[in-house]
């Protein structure tokens, strides 16, 4: 049963990846500004040079041809060459992936830790603390990313604090509402009346009810964190995939953007599928 499920996930992941690459290529190709280069505004370049620059981009004009070609090459390990940075995409990603991985993992862990700490205390208590946590999470939700990035740099915590501060209000809010709703169910009252301790109630009576949603939240938080990595890396000057993505977007760098989208889609799909699979495992074990 589990094997079937995993196989199904693999097939759907592959289909979605292919679709994702194609759609992102279409979006980039059709958006205005695809065909141009900043260097066109340089009066020092001769008309022949400008024409040569144009011609080097024409091979990307036909979307389907480009995409099929890209997939064929990708199977051999060649992910194409970025024309805004004049380097093979594979080297670029290989150099920058560790930075982003570190950033996102530590940021996620920190964000979840903060959110759980606040949510557990807020859900079971009464108004004053609840309002306080509401306002605290509201503060970080309302701060522009640039300010969070600056705070992160001011405190010498490269980037991951910024990511943690971006995701923790969101996780906290969902978590807090779910916990509050679960705690308000009648059987909790009964459990308390019967004298069960708070930790037991939490572990065996509250969490199982909201486990699927929390897992889904975990999966979604990964893609929120990855999305947050783009502005944080750009603003903090960290050489990760997020900064690469932003530069690629500004330069309409099709090969790079397609690869990054496929990567992000893969990460999202893996995170969410894992959440699904874990949920199913927990359910079938009768937790």
Partner 1 sequence: MMRHRVLGRLILITFLCLGSTFARSETELRFCLRTEPKNLNPLLVSNDAEETIRYLTGGVLVRVNRQTQQLEPELAESWNVSKDGRQITFKLRQGIAFSDGTPFSAADVAYTVQQLMDPALHSATGDAFRSGAGTVSTKILASNHLAITFPAPVAGLDRLFDQVAILSSQSPKKEGAVLGPFVVAEYKPGASVLLKRNPNYWKKDSRSRRLPYLDSIRLDIQPNRDIELLHFKRGELDLINSLDSEYFDRLASTSPNLVHDAGPSLDSEQMWFNEVGNAPIPAYKRTWFRSTDFRRAIAQAINREDLSRVVFNGHAEPAIGPVSPANKFWFNDKLNPYPYDPEGALKKLQLVGFRLENGVLRDRDGNKVEFSIVTNAGNRYRERMAVMIQQDLQKVGIKVSVVTLDFPSLIERITQSFNYEAAILGLTNVDLDPNGQMNVWLSSAENHQWNPAQKSPETVWEAEIDRLMRAQASSIDPRKRKESFDRVQAIVMEQAPFIYLVNRNALSAISTSLHGASPVVLRPQTYWNADQLTLSAESGRGR
Partner 2 sequence: MVQKLACAFLLMIGMVCLFADQLAPAGYAKQFRESPNAAPSRKHLLGTDDIGRDRFSRALYGTRISLLLAPAAALLSTLLAALIGGVAGYLGGFWARCAMGFTDLFLSLPWLFLLIMVRGFLPLDVSPVLSVLATFSLLGLLGWAAAARILCAGATTIRNSDFLLQARASGLRRVRLFVFHVLPNLKPILYAQFWISIPVFILSEANLGILGLGVAEPMPSWGSLLRELEGMLSFAEAPWKLVPLVLLILVVSSFELILTKQEFAT
The residues that touch partner 1, with contacts defined as CB under 8 A, are 31-50, 52-53, 84-87, 92, 95-96, 146, 149-150, 153-154, 234-237, 239-240, 243-244, 247, 250-252
Distance of CA 15 to the CA centre of its chain: 20
Q: Identify which of residues 99 and 178 has a Cβ nearer to partner 2 in the complex.
A: 178
Q: Single out the segment in contact with partner 2 by CB under 8 A; choices: 20-28, 43-51, 94-102, 108-116.
A: 20-28
40 binds, among partner 1, partner 2, none (CB under 5 to 8 A by kind): partner 1
Return the residue of 58, 135, 193, 285 that touches partner 2, per CB under 8 A. Answer: 135
Give the closest residue to 137 by CA, choosing from 104, 181, 175.
175
d(CA 251, CA 92): 15
Q: Does 36 bind partner 2 (CB under 8 A)?
A: no
Q: Identify which of residues 52 and 287 has a Cβ nearer to partner 2 in the complex.
A: 287
Interaction mask 209-228, partner 2, x per CB under 8 A: x--xx-xxx-xx--xx----
In the bound complex, what is the minimum distance in angstroms from residue 27's beta carbon to partner 2? 4
5-10 long-range contacts (CB < 8 A, ≥24 apart) are 5/277, 5/280, 6/277, 9/273, 9/276, 9/277
In the bound complex, what is the minimum distance in angstroms from residue 208's beta carbon to partner 2? 10
Reduce the secondary structure of 41-110 to three states and give it as a string: HCCCCCHHHHHHHHHHHHCCCCHHHHHHHHHHHHHCCCCCEECCCCEEHHHHHHHHHHHHHHHHHHHHHH
* Plot region of 125 (φ>0 → left; ψ -120 to 50 → alpha; else → beta): beta
Interaction mask 143-182, partner 2, x per CB under 8 A: xxxxx--x---x--------------xx--xx-xxx-xx-
120 binds, among partner 2, partner 1, none (CB under 5 to 8 A by kind): none
What token pair was written down for 237? 């000057």
d(CA 31, CA 21): 16
Give the DSSP H or E segment for 184.
none
Strand segments, DSSP code E, in 213-273 are none
Positions touching partner 2 (CB under 8 A) are 8, 12, 15-16, 19-20, 23-24, 27-28, 30-33, 124-127, 131, 134-135, 138-139, 141-147, 150, 154, 169-170, 173-174, 176-178, 180-181, 183-184, 209, 212-213, 215-217, 219-220, 223-224, 245, 249, 257, 261, 264-265, 268-269, 272, 276, 279
């Amino acid at each position: 049963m589990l094997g079937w499920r995993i196989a199904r996930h693999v097939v759907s992941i592959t289909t979605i990846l292919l679709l994702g690459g194609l759609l992102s290529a279409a979006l980039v190709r059709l958006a205005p500004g695809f065909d141009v280069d900043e260097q066109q505004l340089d009066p020092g370049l001769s008309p022949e040079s400008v024409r040569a620059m144009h011609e080097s981009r024409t091979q990307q004009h036909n979307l389907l041809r480009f995409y099929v070609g890209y997939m064929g090459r990708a199977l051999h390990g060649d992910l194409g060459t970025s024309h805004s940075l004049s380097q093979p995409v594979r080297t670029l990603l290989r150099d920058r992936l560790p930075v982003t991985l570190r950033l996102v993992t530590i940021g996620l862990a920190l964000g979840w830790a903060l959110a759980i700490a606040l949510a557990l205390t807020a859900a079971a208590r009464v108004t004053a603390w609840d309002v306080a946590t509401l306002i605290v999470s509201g503060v970080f939700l309302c701060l522009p990313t640039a300010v969070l990035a600056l705070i992160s740099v001011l405190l010498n915590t490269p980037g991951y604090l910024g990511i943690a501060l971006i995701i923790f209000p969101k996780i906290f809010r969902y978590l807090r509402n779910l916990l509050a709703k679960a705690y308000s169910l009648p059987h909790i009252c009964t459990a308390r009346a019967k004298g069960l301790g708070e930790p037991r109630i939490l572990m065996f009576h509250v969490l199982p009810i909201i486990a699927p949603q929390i897992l889904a939240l975990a999966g979604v938080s990964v893609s929120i964190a990855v999305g947050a990595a783009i502005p944080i890396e750009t603003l903090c000057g960290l050489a990760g995939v997020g900064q690469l993505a932003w530069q690629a977007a500004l330069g309409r760098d099709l090969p790079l953007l397609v690869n990054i989208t496929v990567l992000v889609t893969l990460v999202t799909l893996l995170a969410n599928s894992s959440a699904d699979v874990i949920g199913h495992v927990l359910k079938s074990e009768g937790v």
